[in-house]
Structure 1
Amino acid sequence: MNLLFALRAARGWVDRDDLRRAIVDYRDLSDDAFDRQFSRDKDALRELGIEISTTDWDDIHEPGRSAYGYRITDEDYALPEIDLTPEEAWVLSIAQNFWQGTALGRDAQNALHKLRGLGHDLAPTTEPGVPQGVFATPAFSEALAQVRARRTVTFTYRKPGAAPEQRRVQPYGVHSRADRAYLVGYDLDRADVRNFRLSRIEGGFSRLRGTRDGDYEVPAGFDARSVFPGTGTAAGEGGTTEGEDLTTVTLAIAPGRADPLRREGTAAGTDALGRDLVTLRVWALDGLPARLAVFGPSVEVLAPAHVREAHRAHLGAVRDRLAALGGDSPAPNEQESDRHGR
C-alpha cells in the first residue's frame, strides 16, 4: 500500500532510488532484499488490477540515466465501468452470502448496495441447493484463514460415537457439500489427505508447535472436490472423509415437478407410473427428509430403504402435528408444492 500511495502521489515518473528513500519499509533493506520486496509489491498491485507503467529514462529525454522510472496513471488506477452479466450478478450474490457473518460481511453488503445503485440486479440468492448458512459460520472463515496462510494446525475432532482426538493437519482447502462445510488437508499422523467436517472441530485451530506459516506446499492443481468419492478424476485416490458416508438416493418425481432436484441429480429413466427416476448422491442425510417434504407428493423416495422410511416418518410427523392443532388443512409440504408449482 505504501508503494501505491507513493506512486499515486508522485507527479510524473519516479525511480527506484527515490521510492527506496520515500518508503520507510524499504530504507533498511539490503540491495538484494529491496529488489525482492519491490518485485513482490509490484506483482501484488498488478494482481489487484492496478497496472504500473515503466519507462527507461532515455525515453523521457534524460540521457545518461540507466535506471527505470515508474508511475501509476489515472487510467491505470481507475476502476473500469462495471457491466455484469446475469450470471456474474448471481455469483456476486453468492459471494455476499459467503462473507455474511464474518469480519468482511458489512463491506460485502455495502459493495452490493453500491452495485444495485448502478442498476445491477443483485437479488438475494435463494436458489435451492445453494448453501445459505454454511459460509456465515465463524468456523468457515477461520478455516479459510488457515488455508490462505498455509498454516499447519492442530485441533480437537470428534467423530460420531467416538472420543475426541487431536489431529495435526496441513490445510489444503475448504469445501462445502449441501449444507455441510469441510476442511480438506494432509493429516500428518495418518499420512493421507482427509476431510474434516467443520461442525465437528471443537475449540478452533491452533498453530502446530515448531511450524511457521507457508512451510508446506499445496500439491499443484489440487482440487478439494477431488478427494470426495465420485466427484472428480482423483476420486478414491487416497482421499478419506472423516465420519461421512456417501449415499445414492433414488427418487421418483412427477413429470414437470421438483426442478431443483432434477438439476442436482442424475436422470435414471422412468418407472411404470410414468414418473421420472432421479438419483442423488448425498453426504448428509439428516436434513434430507425435510428438504424433500417441500415438494410434497411430487417426490417419492424409492431407495435406499432407510432413507425412504425416514422420509415417510417425517411426513407422518408433520401430519400428526397438524392433527394435534385440530386443523384439517393440507399439510404444509403440499401447500409449498402448490405455491411453487412443483
Structure 2
Amino acid sequence: MEGVNDAEKKVREQTERILNLLIALRATAGWTDRDTLKSCIDEYAGLSDSAFDRAFSRDKSLLRTMGIEISTTSWKDAHTGANGYGYRITQDDYALPEIDLTPEEAAVLSVASRFWQDSALGIHTGRALNKLRGLGIDLHASAEDGAPEAPFDTESFSVALSAVNARRAVEFDYRKPGGPVSHRRLEPYTLLTRGDRVYLIGRDIDKDDIRTFRLARVEGRISPVRRRKDGDYEIPDDFRVSDWFRPDRASGPAHTARVRVRPGRADPVRRIGTPVGAEDGWDVLEISCEDPEELAASLLGYGAAVRPAAPPELVAAHEEMLRRTRDALAQVLDGKAVGR
C-alpha cells in the first residue's frame, strides 16, 4: 500500500505543478522569465539553471501532449551580456479548435473518462465532459451505434495508459501475424487509436528505435521493467506521433500499396511513401503496410486528397470505411433534423 500511496502522491504533485505552471504562463500579459517561475512554483525553487532546464523541458513536453504549446523568446542582457529567456502561453497556444466529434470519437471520450474518474484529474475530467454534453455531443453512444467499447475495456489498455502517463518502462510478449512470440521492452510515449484498434508507440529499449505495437497482439500481461523507476526517461521534444505511426510498424508480413495523392496535399502520407510517378494529375506513391485495412483507416482522415489504388483489398476497405462514415454522418444529421 505504501507504493500505491507514493504513486498517488507523485501524481498529485505532478498535477499541482503543471496547473501552477499553466496558471503562471497564462496569467502574465508579457513574458515570464526563469527566476519568476522559480519563485512561484515550489518544485522549481532552488534548482540550478541546468536542473531547471531539464525539469522545465519535461513539463513543457507534458503540456504539449495535452495540446498546449509554450511560446519562447530570448534577449541579451544589456548589463551582463548574458542571454535571457522568457516564456508564456498565448491565446493561440491555449485555445481549443472548434470541436466536432464523430459518434465514435465521443464514445472513446466517454470510455476514457472512466479511467480518469478516480485520479487527481477526475473532477476536471467530469467538468470537461459536462461542457461537451452542453454542446450537444452525445457521449453515451451504444455498441449498436458503432461505439468502439471493447478495445478500451481491456486490462492491457488500462495498464498501457497508466504506463504512458507515468513514463513507466514496460515489457511484454508480442506476436507478429504469422510469426513467433518475442519479448519486448518499451519506453512508451503514447497510445493511438485507429477505429477499433489500439496501438502503443514508444522507444524499443533493445532495438533503440521507435516502434508501434498493436495491443491486441500482446500476449499475457504488460509489466513494469525491473529496476526501472517511473519517469526515468524523457519523451523527445520533437516527437510527433504522426511522424512515427505506420501500419507496417505494427510488425507483420509486408504488402506494397499504391496510393494516389493530390499535388501539395497529405504531407504525412508522402513521408511514409515512395514516389513512383504521376497519373491523371495525381502523384502516385508506394507504401509498405502490414494490414491493408489498417492503412485504409489511417488514410481516411485525408478525405478527397488521397485515393487508394491497389491492392484491391485496400481499395475495398477504404470504400467501406467511407460508406460507414457517410452513413454515420447521415444519422447524425437526421437526428438534428428531428430535434428541430
Query: What is the TM-score with the length of structure 2 in the denominator?
Result: 0.45
Query: What is the TM-score with the length of structure 1 in the denominator?
Result: 0.45
Name which one, 1 or 2, has greater alpha-carbon Rg: 1
Return the structure number with greater helix share.
2
